[in-house]
Structure 1
Amino acid sequence: MSRENLNDLIAFLAVAREKSFTRAAAKLGVSQSALSHTVRLLEERLGLRLLTRTTRSVTPTNAGYYLIRNIGPHFDQIETQLASLGQLRDEPSGTIRITATDDVIAYILRPKIEKFIKKYPDVKIEINADLKLVDIVAERFDAGVRLGEQVTKEMTSVPLTPDIRFVVVGTKSYFRKHPKPKAPHDLLKHQCITMRLPTYGGIYAWEFEKNGRDLKVRVDGPLIFNSVFSARDACLDGLGLAHMPEIVAEKYIADGRLVKVLEEWCPYWTGYHLCFPHHHQNTMPFSLFVDEMRHEAEKFSHS
């Protein structure tokens, strides 16, 4: 499209939104007669009437409304990006809102954002801890952290971690009183610390896989939590077995306080991703944040 057409479309959008040649001319800094001439030439080139003019009002026609709906948002996005780009003259600023589970925040996001907040001190990062897979768009978040299997086709994603797995753990004191399970169904004889997931409203069934065979076990026990940290701490107290991301348990496995069982049944899953809608109107702070997360992930994969 020629520059002339772009300028004419900008002129038309200003008149259509202001519903006045006078107000639009003042906004654009041109004369009313020049603006009227520009819009008339655009209508002639398109062969369509875009505006209905009376002595008292200016109203878009059906063709005019079509342009407002379908062309207008693109010009708005360009203006947003240009305004955001202008922040580079000074320091990027703004707020980035992210939703993630509490364990992801503790073990994945916080370590990765340390360099970012030092580099861009005027950018605020608001992180909402939630087990529920909230609607990122409806809840007005910029991004969410999801397992690879949870990334939908409507989302763009940046990997944050390599593949991860969930493990079943218990304390040595617990296993002195109870035999170690040799197969997933043995868990039905154990006290298990369970989690209620708000997304589905039910108790999470522990998932296993071996030699291509998937298996879910609906375990039971005296304690139900909605936080993996609470489940881990109860497990450390010897109150039962727990199922959790390995990154949450690895420190305690390394020092001997927790013992892994059923390892051959615990598969690796596609790792965590930073997800955001394809149509996200990337502000400069958010674009910088995504680049930083991608850079950190690439460093991790090469280390």
Structure 2
Amino acid sequence: MDFGVTSLDGLPLPPRVTICEVGPRDGLQNESTVLPVEVKAEFVERLVDAGHTVVETTSFVHPRWVPQLADAENLLRALTPVPGVRYPVLVPNPRGLDRALDLGVQDVAVFGSVTETFARRNLNRTVDQSLKMFAPVVARAREAGLRVRGYLSMCFGDPWEGEVSPRQVLDAATRMMALGCTELSLGDTIGVATPGRVIAVLDALIASGIGVDSIAVHFHDTYGQALANALTALRRGVTTFDASAGGLGGCPYAGSATGNLATEDLLWQLHGLGIDTGIDLQKMVDTSTWLAKELGRPSPSRTVTALAG
């Protein structure tokens, strides 16, 4: 049941949001089980059948670093793109972009960091060096007519550096968008954000001139705050939310991080507010139940557990 809520405490709610489904990439890359390409292809197809229009499909990171996604080319060749559906892939460098362009990819993403320690541990570069590496990648992608998402990790806290200030996020976000990114995803990589921190960061970015329509949020549920944070972002006008089927994924470079916000849990909240997503919740529950069997472990999503029967 939905109640057609149009505002909360006087703040308007958007009638529709887009969920960027990150399970096939951000979710599976952090699973110990390496699934066959046929299973991954079926996973993507099930997500599209459920109504997703943005499915982050894979990554062109070197297989040595992410062996779970070593079959990226084979997966993309196994898929039959559905009109109106976007299948973004993560590209870390010019070589990754070359591979994406060779396969006709239309959406790519680069992955940066707000904090220096995480940048060095994840990218083996400083924040400045990583942005310089991204610059030609983004420029070439935009020249080729591709959409480019810029991920920023550690936007709310870092396991080595502690709490991250909104000013620090704003600096990295401004520089990332200046490269030519068409969308910016703010990552709560270790799940320490709270609604107050979300408000502070979003207000800083919006006040600086970064349009809320170009901002996405990416929450983890380490402290059980992901849904509260999503609702807070929604009330601030954000309409793009990253989520992972069944709550798959964590962060291989941040040991304390638990899974991503589960798509099904987010859908339960959004549909309860009368907000349209275009996604069939029961089909998502069925998909995550099926995938949990393939992975050999139960889904951590509470909504999947409640509705799986």
Q: In which range does the TM-score fall when normalised by the shorter chain?
A: under 0.3
**Larger Rg, first or second structure (1 or 2):** 1
Tell me the TM-score normalized by structure 1: 0.25
